[in-house]
Structure 1
Amino acid sequence: MWLPRSCPAVAATLRALAVPLRAHGTRQAQRQRMLFRQLFEPESCTYTYLLADLKTKEAVLIDPVLEMAKRDAELVRELGLHLVYAANTHCHADHITGTGLLKKLLPGCCSVISKDSGALADILICEGDALEFGAFTLEARSTPGHTDGCLTYVLNDRTMAFTGDALLIRGCGRTDFQQGSPETLYHSVHEKIFTLPGDCLIYPAHDYMGQMVSTVEEERTLNPRLTQSCETFVQLMNNLNLPYPKQIDVAIPANLKCGIQDAAS
């Protein structure tokens, strides 16, 4: 399903990365057409990603954080972009999404989340749906296991994948709450992410060690959790004994209203 375009830090801002794109022409031509920014929120160690078609100025923001929404909106304005979508990879438990505030700061922006998340948003998407911005699209791949509604967004030429908490750099999201299932997560990563080209760049929702990017080949050969057998992975994940997320009691109720919070919330 193709969604219509008409629908209405660690550091602070991280440097722009040159993105080697293959589809619809040469890599050099593509680099000149797509803008990419990787942004950071230090409290929850969350990465937010801004992608835009430089010709049409249409843009997508992935996993915005409430406390950084004004920063993100200002960057969009400075760059002369039109934010079409503010999309979440899943219903986060460690921070409140910035989609609700961004809709107010940047009229015409639509909030997006997986239909399987159980959350509210302007657009609920499923496996195989795509978000279009100018000449580019982000394909939604369902990658549950951390939560039921986890999505990985894959750029149309399969050179970039935004994996949320399903796949982190040398790790993965926890599976001990919010419909978590280690077995489901294992199969999601191996079947939906590790089948991408080896040089596809992996951009996770979080990193706690100061690493910004990985590749499919690195993670499918070096990830200490996901290179194990499924049985070993399940046993490992069931015995992590991690502390309760600090913001979960506030974050989940707010994020279930993903992007359509009223002014009071």
Structure 2
Amino acid sequence: MSCLVLEVLKPSVACALQLRATATGDSRRALAGFLYRHRGWDTQKAPVRKYSANMERRAGGGIIFRQLFESISSTYTYLLGDPESREAVLIDPVLETVDRDIKLIEELELQLKVAVNTHCHADHITGTGLMKKKLYGTKSAISEHSGATADILLSEGDSITFGKYCLNVRETPGHTDGCVTLVAGDQSMAFTGDALLIRGCGRTDFQQGCSKKLYHSIHTKIFTLPGHCLIYPAHDYKGQTVSTVDEEKKFNPRLTKTLEEFVEIMSNLNLPKPQKIDIAVPANLVCGLHDI
């Protein structure tokens, strides 16, 4: 009987011995599945499932991340959360989309710890104030140089923590005095506000704008991040969602220029005045709660 079994298994055993030394990854798992089926075993109990389960656990342990969009001002709002503690941070919320953001936060069973603005916006009213009213325990945050009120006033080197994750503050003035870039602790992501946009940058013709200061901020605080670091801006007007440090260093039509050329470009943009600036700026100086 044992000889008969050996004869039946000879081809598969030979195949196993031949591939064992050379096969890796998918080929080894395919071989394992073949051997289990040949012996009449249930392939659902093969080691392949253990590998998949491990992958799922690793994927489940990663940061929760959502990129949200408000179409009127073309503003991106970012939600980041820790899947274990359920603590979360919301970056640049917009007043008109507060209910949408709260619904998502509740669906994902997150606890919003901080709602932070990258600067005092001129094109929309922030949703941080209303968010605080609707989600108990939420704190607002903005740069101490913005002139705005908030629970947390940020400065260079500060960190916003949520569970085991954090966002580190880099001051990047130039678009406004109170612009900050929020960098993930592992430097895999940077939320650049209006300082650095995808293939562009924030304007410098109002709200303490200074082209020289902005050029310096981007080159010393953002372009010094790892090249693979993902760039997530506060706005995009062409449907682009993300870039990288390397991409912007190579292809940004403004920031690949010399300082003198950059200043010249910024001086001749001739952009229209933001439609909501007279309403948005006063409102954002008081966390968006001027008439709520």
Q: Which of 123, 131, 149 lines up with 2:152 in the alignment?
A: 123
Give the letter aligned to residue 212 of structure 1: T
1:105 is displaced (CA, Å) by: 1.1
Q: Secondary structure at the match of 1:116?
A: coil
2:60–2:83 CA contact under 8 A, matched in 1: no
8 Å Cα contact 1:85/1:111 also seen in 2: yes
1:227 equivalenced with 2:252 (yes/no): no
Q: Which has the higher helix share?
A: 2
Offset at 1:124?
A: 0.4
Q: Is the 8 A contact 1:33 1:55 kept in 2?
A: no
* Aligned position for 1:20: none
Report the counterpart of residue 103 of structure 1 in structure 2: 132
Are 1:85 and 2:114 matched, yes or no? yes
Contact 1:220 1:227 in 2 (8 A): yes
Structure 1 length as normaliser, TM-score?
Answer: 0.87
1:215 corresponds to which of 223, 244, 248: 244
Q: Is residue 2:99 matched to residue 1:70?
A: yes
Aligned pair 1:238/2:267, yes or no? yes
| Bigger RCO of structures 1 and 2 (CA < 8 A, at least 6 apart) | 1
**Percent identical across equivalent pairs?**
64
2:28 counterpart residue number: none
Q: What are the Cα deviations for residues 48-81 of structure 1, in whole angstroms up to 9, with x where unaligned?
A: 0000000000000000000001110111011100
Q: State the shift of 1:31 in Å.
A: 6.2
Does 1:35 pair with 2:35?
A: no
Superposition deviation, residue 89 in structure 1: 0.2
Confirm whether residue 176 of structure 1 aligns to residue 205 of structure 2: yes
Report the CA distance between 1:133 and its aligned residue.
Answer: 0.2
List per-residue Cα deviations over 1:106-141 (Å, max 9, x = no partner).
110000000000100011010000000000000010
**1:258, 1:224 → 2: CA distance?**
34
The code of the aligned residue for 1:252 comes to V
- Whole-angstrom CA distance in 1 between matches of 2:77 and 2:151: 20
Instruction: Using structure 2 for the length normalisation, give the TM-score.
Output: 0.79
Which of structures 1 and 2 has the bigger CA Rg? 2
Q: How does 1:42-57 map to 2 (within 5 A)?
A: 42-57=71-86
Take 1:128 and 1:91, find their aligned partners in 2: how far apart are those partners? 19
